Chains A and B, each alone.
Chain A
Amino acid sequence: MAGNTLELKRISASAAPPPGIRDTPVLAKYIDTTTCIGCKACEVACQQWNDLPPETTVQIGTYQTMPDTTANFWNLIRFSEFEDAGGFHWFMRKDQCMHCGDPGCLKACPAPGAIVQYVNGIVDFQQDQCIGCGYCMAGCPFNIPKLSSKTKTVYKCTMCVDRVAVGLEPACIKACPTGCLQFGTKEQLLEVAAKRVDQLRESGFREAGVYDPPGVGGTSVVTVLAHADQPELYGLPSNPSIPLAVSFWKAPLKWLGNIAMIGGIVATAIHYLKYGAKHAHGKDS
């Protein structure tokens, strides 16, 4: 498949321009929540491929393995119950890094090269460059990056970049028994999704749609929802974007600060040149 190259498109906190010059398609995962049975094969496949140790969990009154992903657990099926005029629904959605087109984590990251985006769209953390500041956790609108208390660095789904780079699909996709997960170029998968959405609409799910939010530059996870008008039902934000605080900080505030700091130093220099020092009267007179 095209798109196996790991050329970089974006690098966090990098003063140098990213080297990405290859024109490769963006790769994506397809998640059809309407054919997902919440079997959790993807959860364990993720752990197995990535050699992640099992977590200790507690039954708190849900089928969901744990409340949120963790540094050891990057792929979680979210279960939610919902009832409306159309009847009762039990939603299951595979949650993991959305691999945003414009990743908030990368934008917020202060450590050069700790977060990169490959030209194929995969957003990847480089733990050896990560300083564990947690800015990415503020920058992500999906609550994905998780700090490991052991290594003090941040982890999340890598879209199995080590598999993708050699032409394999991510482990979660490989493990999916029902075919609700697929892997391919985003373009292809959007077509698959559009077809499925049409089918769902014909079957009475008038609000069926694809979740590919433009606020984060689209995602490399193409999610089909039967109730796309209410993504919150699935634990998805309805119009995600990089938090205002983060984008304000990274643009206007930063420029304001730069001007203020440089301006301050320059002003003091000018002041000294013009007015010089204040001397005590004794010496003065």
Chain B
Amino acid sequence: MILRYTFKERIVHWVAAFAYVYLLLTGLAFYTPKLYWLAVVLGGGTTSREWHPWAGLVFVAATVLMYVMWASDMRITEGDRAWGRAIGHYVRNEDKHLPPVGRYNAGQKYLFWLMFLGGVLLLISGVAMWFTSSIPWSLRWLRHWAVLVHVSAALATIGGFIIHVYMGTAVVRGGFTSIVRGEVSEEWARTHHPLWKR
């Protein structure tokens, strides 16, 4: 067995994951009346509203730690671009036609950057929405853009999140265990990340 994620990495990931899920559920409650029941289930609208920004800070903090831990691994290389061009094979599970990848494939890297940049936008717009009262009326465009940016960024991360969860749990068998227990089999590593640990 090979250690793929250190204990620290796993903690950080799961903190981010739980925060994100909470943000997602409460966020969806505020997003549409049809899902407002989510806020009710999670302790009521006021509680959801009160905790959402704090959960956001937790998420952003975890994201920053991930950045510190993984940013160097996540650099997009020429190989990643080639992988990206061949993504159709990946989708069709024809992985042998893909250029070999290291610890992370380009999809994972793009996901990382999507979540990271999304997190930054959500943070900025979220802070503006948290303190709407303090934004002077002359800068009211900030209030308006904050709402728009927050929703747009959230939707983008939701897209990434769906793919991430799907890939991690359903498609790439062993992926979920790796982020829980930290270890993968050598075969797993060779198959999915041939250049990693070589």
Contact = CB atoms under 8 A, between A and B. Distances in A.
A and B touching (C-beta < 8 Å)? yes
Interface of A: 13-15, 68, 108, 110-112, 129, 131-135, 137-138, 143, 146-147, 152, 243-246, 248-249, 253-254, 256-258, 260-261, 264-265, 268, 271-272, 275-284
Interface string B36-69: 1001000001101110000000000000000000
Given A68-B137, A257-B151, A257-B155, A133 B30 contact: yes
A257 B45 CA distance: 22
Contact of A282 (B29, B92, B187): B187
Q: Which of B92, B95, B133 has the most CB of A within 10 A?
A: B133
Contacts of A279: 173, 191
Majority-rule SS of B interface residues? helix
B93 A276 contact: yes
**List of 7 A-B pairs having minimum Cβ-Cβ separation, nearest first:** A282-B187, A245-B144, A134-B132, A131-B45, A131-B49, A280-B188, A110-B30
B34 interface: yes
Interface stretch (B7-15, B72-80, B114-122, B159-167): B159-167
B46 A277 contact: no
A281 B191 contact: yes
Given A134-B129, A261-B162, A278 B172 contact: yes
Contact of B147 (A111, A135, A256, A280): A135
B197 interface: no
A278 B91 CA distance: 10
B109 interface: no
A27 to B, nearest CB: 27
A257 B143 contact: no
Contact of B185 (A133, A277, A282): A282
